Amino acid sequence: MASTAEQEAVPEHAPERAGGPPVWPGAPTPLGARCRVGPDGIAGTNFALWAGGAEAVELCLFGPDGTERRLPLTELTHEIWHGFVPGIGAGQRYGYRVHGRWDPWTGARWNPAKLLLDPYARAVDGDFSLPAEVYGHVRDWPQQHVADTVRDERDSAPFVPKGVVVQDDDDWSDDRRPKTPWQDSVIYEMHVKGFTKLHPGIPEHLRGTYAGLAHPAAIEHLVRLGVTAVELLPVHQFAHEDHLLQRGLRNHWGYNSIGYFAPHAGYSSSGTTGQQVGEFKRMVRALHAAGIEVILDVVYNHTAEAGEFGPTLSLKGIDNRGYYRLQSDARRYADYTGCGNTLHVVQPQVLRLITDSLRYWVTEMGVDGFRFDLAAALARSMHDVDMLSPFLAVIAQDPVLRRVKLIAEPWDVGNGGYQVGAFPPLWTEWNDRYRDAVRDFWRGALPDVRDLGYRLSGSSDLYAWGGRRPYASVNFVTAHDGFTLRDLVTYERKHNEANGEGNRDGTHDNRSWNCGTEGETDDPAISALRLRQQRNLLTTLLLSTGVPMLVAGDEMGRTQGGNNNAYCQDNETGWLDWTLPDDPGRSHLLTLTRRLLDLRHRHPVLRRRAFFSGRGADGLRDLAWFGADGTEMTERDWYAPTATIALYLSGRDIPGRDERGEQITDDSFLAVLHAGPQPLDFRLPGPPWAETYELTVDTAREDQSAAPGTEHRGGETITVGARSVVLLRVRE
């Protein structure tokens, strides 16, 4: 259907179709743009694009002045259009125009007026500003309900970024991957820009970039803290949503991917015509040299093209029906993600795109693992979530991918999408049941402690099947979406007005407690309680069995002012404030976090490789639970309301052996978690559990330097402060 748009955009430079370089047949693999040597030793670039159902494909090359040269790709092999262009090398900007039918009612949305980003582009130059010209349909058509059916004939090339040819460079001979075992891992979820933008030790021109994260000042904080891996919020090239741009905001988190092979150009300090690739690799090398793994948060469930009323930037114009899940009314998209579209992972070419991307980031960019956003959407077969789905099956047998860290966000927004505990071996999962139980305990909302007992001890009820281990559970109290740790004890209601959505966005289920006053306060008693609650939550997390995940800044009391959905706050709200440790209370919080992580590193009993069995050495169980009177909990105690739970972790007989084949043994510990508002008299279990205990951590104290070393006899009654955690090491 032809467009009747009032005015057609005129490109800055008219395209040239003659007089350009020849196009030789080239090869259909690998997909994307790859520099190579062609016939007779002539250097050039091979271009290959899968475009199922297309009638023709034009390769568009752009000069420094914006001049566009269009070269038809005439070779077609198994729906891959390909050609070799001699003389074209690294730094060349390019895109595609794909010809075909315009028939939205059957899902066909080809429009050669729209310049399309190569799905395999390894670098992207420019930004998506999303004017009306980048939409395949007439965005401003008077009858909005049918606007997506009216084709827009205006040229989008002047308004969209271009792919960039990148020279291959995969020499990792000088790199040493840390290869941290899962049970020893501590994950630090962070944002490249948010972590570095305000860091005073990073040169200003490097702040907010990959080079900034590679700077010694940034790495020093991570090393001193004691984390083993950074989990980077999305660094794939992403676009800003139109509704945000219209409100003067930008997508900060990056969950709006459009280029699965390209590092986001906005985080590059060195340039955007391929330099971002080398800068990212140097960042990975620097982190590896410090013993820190790099895990990417990846968004393969949807793209920035949204639904039928979204822009045409790449896949939608290459083969809409091949790349996206469509409804029975093929004009509409199946949306299991809440973002307008869902990639059709059952399709072989989509599965290939995702797995090629994953392997590229491991083998050529050096990363150590992935956290999959809305992973349940990827595990769907035709409709339902299927743990035998093509995606999971391919990952399980891939010789590269099955060896890296794989973390699932085990849900999506579709029917049957909640799959916590259901992913197969090889996978770990974000355990939101851990988050909810720990939050509820410390705010006094748990009816009993049955669920908490499972969460503290590795969630065997969820993961003790199929050979899975306690580290299948990624334990977290906070994450990028939701309140920060400080806001969790400061606000009971979300305060997202700055997002411009009438405070309707973000979850209402915060499971938070403001300690008596909503928002920040000068009341010293409330401020002290809030700091203690932060210490309690961090201590609980780092003493629990499983893989702990911290969120950048929680270790020093970062706040977002009560915004629990700061995805569009690319400003001080979303950036880490490095002046926080100047406050004594925040400084003590940071010191406690470092101390707990060091304790975890030194004691294998706190990072077990196997679930507790209920048995142990010398007739003592490997895990025992006690009430306030110092006797073991009974079945009835688990069902009774209580604000206190104590767990004894035995180090006498830890499953597994060390590298020399020796039995692993360790100290034993007793942890008392007391969420009640009044101090508690707690009787320490006596022999055979312990003759003597040594106080190791007491969160009732702001300054932990005064806590360690105090000894108590088994059978002695100690006072546990109101709302606090006491950790004692068994001396004998």
Q: How many CB atoms lie within 10 A of CB 323?
A: 23
CB contact at 8 A, 369 and 293: yes
CA 322 vs. chain centroid, Å, equals 27
* Backbone phi, psi, residue 400, to 5°: -90, -50
Tell me which of 373, 492, 554, 698 is the catalytic residue: 373
**Counts of helices then strands in the chain (DSSP H, E):** 16, 31
In 132-203, where do the E strands start and end? 162-164, 187-190
Six token digits for residue 209: 């970039």
Cβ neighbours around 129 below 10 Å, total: 14
What is the distance in angstroms between the CA of the first residue and the CA of the last residue of the chain?
Answer: 83
* DSSP codes joined into one string, 13-74: S--B-SSS---B---S-SSEEEEEE-GGG-EEEEEEEE-TT-SEEEEEEE-TT--EEEEEE-
CB 233 within 8 A of CB 253: yes
Kind of pairing between the strands at 108-109 and 102-103: antiparallel
Q: Which of 242, 409, 487, 492 is catalytic?
A: 409
Spatial distance between the Cα atoms of 320 and 105, rounded to a whole number of angstroms? 12
How buried is 6 (Cβ within 10 angstroms: 0-12 exposed, 13-18 middle, 19+ buried)? exposed
C-alpha to C-alpha distance for 20 and 26, rounded to whole angstroms = 17
492 catalytic per annotation:
no
The yes-or-no answer on residue 662 being catalytic is no
Token pair listed for 692 = 């003597």
| 688 cis-preceded (ω within 30 degrees of 0) | yes
Assess contact for 652 and 618: CB atoms under 8 A: yes
256 within 8 A of 322, measured Cβ to Cβ: no
Q: Are strands 293-298 and 623-626 parallel, antiparallel or unpaired?
A: unpaired
Between the alpha carbon of residue 418 and those of residues 339, 483, 671, the distances in Å are 17, 22, 32
Compute the distance between CA of residue 241 and CA of residue 230 in angstroms, rounded to an integer. 27
> Are β-strands 680-683 and 80-86 bridged in parallel, bridged antiparallel, or unpaired?
unpaired
Tokens describing residue 353: 């795109």
Sign of CA dihedral 30, 34, 37, 39: positive
Q: How many Å apart are CA 647 and CA 614, to the nearest integer?
A: 13
Contact 369, 405 (CB under 8 A): yes
Catalytically active residues are 373, 409
